[in-house]
Amino acid sequence: MAVAKPKGKESTKGLIVVFTGNGKGKTTAALGLAFRALGHEHRVCIIQFIKGSWQYGELEAAKIFKPLLDFHVMGRGFTWKSDDLEKDKAAAREAWEFAAQTIRENRHELVILDELTYLPHYQIIDEEEILAVLRDKPAAMHIAITGRYASEALIELADLVTEMREIKHPFHNGVKAQRGMEF
Amino acid sequence: MAVAKPKGKESTKGLIVVFTGNGKGKTTAALGLAFRALGHEHRVCIIQFIKGSWQYGELEAAKIFKPLLDFHVMGRGFTWKSDDLEKDKAAAREAWEFAAQTIRENRHELVILDELTYLPHYQIIDEEEILAVLRDKPAAMHIAITGRYASEALIELADLVTEMREIKHPFHNGVKAQRGMEF
């Protein structure tokens, strides 16, 4: 199969892409971006802010792409129990500081901040702190952010925003999550 | 990193998943599903109904996953010029017959029908013919369908439907498509 390389002068402007909304496919779309970028032999870093939201399949697939793909499971999964909340917040802060550092180090063409939006939404991280890092990102770096509740300010800053709207979900019909699909 | 295998009895019910709407991320989300499924060493078949909509990055990435991933570029790209329209239609019909055959042969855990929805929408394929194949799909097979204009009947048949809504698009701001992102 003949495949043409993309035409035209390659731009160096990296995009900020947001996948938000209540529907399925936000993290999945970010994974698809990673898949594409890895096909270009771009270096990709995925930082997962909510522990446990990624499953066996993608973690195994991620191994296939080493060393191009760095994958970091941060955070704790947000128990929202009062005795654990402070630990959750500390883990979230540590994850964000790691992400900010990763962006500044500029070793990747694409950085995926999976479910980052929950941190400002639940006031664990001041959103202005996040926006400041995004505004100062390396010019050529693409950053993809997923999660519900993307704020107006984040949408304003982003280059491309898609809202995933749930039209129909199998859990409504009593179907359990399927291995290999993992919705 | 310790990764737990999914808990619980594995179900054999395959899902029909639809990514539709005018926003970006439909094909990308399907790619993410492929990435996950390949991580489980599931066999995946991707059939692209609109030639040219997939780019260099994903085609290169797809090669990494051979022999688990079959990738077929069918169709012609819909020129909509009167002298080419019959050729477009014939190519689309051939692609659909290949897809129907692939589903019946049951050699894959996941079949992705990328941009299939345009065929019934533009009355190139009778939708009832497509729905009949989907209703009779192998029970354990997952099928993911992408494209705008998903019909009521397809949504009714599907297990999971997400509408991708465009909130903001870089082309509106005069930014060209980026290599490795390819929106």
Q: Which chain A residue lies closest to B38 (C-alpha atoms)? A: A61
What ipTM score was computed for the predicted complex, to two decimals?
A: 0.78
Distance (Å) from the C-alpha of residue A36 to the closest C-alpha of chain B?
4
What is the model's pLDDT at position B8?
43
Q: Give the mean model confidence (pLDDT) for residues A149-158.
A: 96
Reduced to 3 states, what is the DSSP secondary structure of residue A92? helix
Q: Give the mean model confidence (pLDDT) for residues A126-140.
A: 97
Q: Give the mean model confidence (pLDDT) for residues B156-181.
A: 74
Domains of chain A in sequence order: 16-165 (3.40.50.300)
Under the banding of pLDDT at 50, 70 and 90, the label for residue B78 is: low
Q: Give the mean model confidence (pLDDT) for residues B154-162.
A: 95
Which of residues A134 and B61 earns the better pLDDT score? A134
Distance (Å) from the C-alpha of residue B22 to the closest C-alpha of chain A?
9
Interface test with A, best of B152, B169, B178, B183 (most A CBs within 10 A): B178
Q: Residue A8 pLDDT more than 60?
A: no
Q: What is Dmax (Cα atoms) for chain B?
A: 58
CB B23 within 8 A of CB B167: yes
Q: What is the DSSP letter of A145?
A: E
What is the model's pLDDT at position A62?
76
Quote the percentage of chain B above a pLDDT of 90. 49
Q: Which chain A residue lies closest to B12 (C-alpha atoms)? A: A178
* Inter-chain CB proximity B62 and A39 less than 8 Å: yes
Name which of A133-137, A141-145, B31-35 the model is least confident about: B31-35
CB B163 within 8 A of CB A165: yes
Distance (Å) from the C-alpha of residue A19 to the closest C-alpha of chain B?
8
Angle at B32 between CA A101 and CA B132, to 5 degrees: 165
Q: Residue B179 pLDDT more than 60?
A: no
CB B1 within 8 A of CB A66: no
Among partner residues A5, A32, A182, which is closest to B28 by beta-carbon distance? A32
Quick: pLDDT tens for B22-73: 988 999 999 899 988 888 889 999 999 886 666 667 777 777 777 788 888 8
What is the model's pLDDT at position B103?
98
Q: Residue B10 pLDDT more than 90?
A: no
Name which of A73-77, B14-18, B45-49, B109-113 the model is least confident about: A73-77
Mean pLDDT of chain A: 83
Under the banding of pLDDT at 50, 70 and 90, the label for residue B12 is: low
Q: Which 3-state string (H, E, C) describes chain B?
A: CCCCCCCCCCCCCCCEEEEECCCCCHHHHHHHHHHHHHHCCCCEEEEECCCCCCCHHHHHHHHHCCCCEEEEECCCCCCCCHHHHHHHHHHHHHHHHHHHHHHHHCCCCEEEEECCCHHHHCCCCCHHHHHHHHHCCCCCCEEEEECCCCCHHHHHHCCEEEEEEEEECHHHHCCCCCCCCCC
Name which of A37-41, A103-107, B14-18, B41-45 the model is least confident about: A37-41
pTM: 0.83
Q: What is the DSSP letter of A49?
A: S
Among partner residues A25, A35, A73, which is closest to B58 by beta-carbon distance? A35
Q: Give the mean model confidence (pLDDT) for residues A27-35.
A: 90
What is the model's pLDDT at position A91?
87
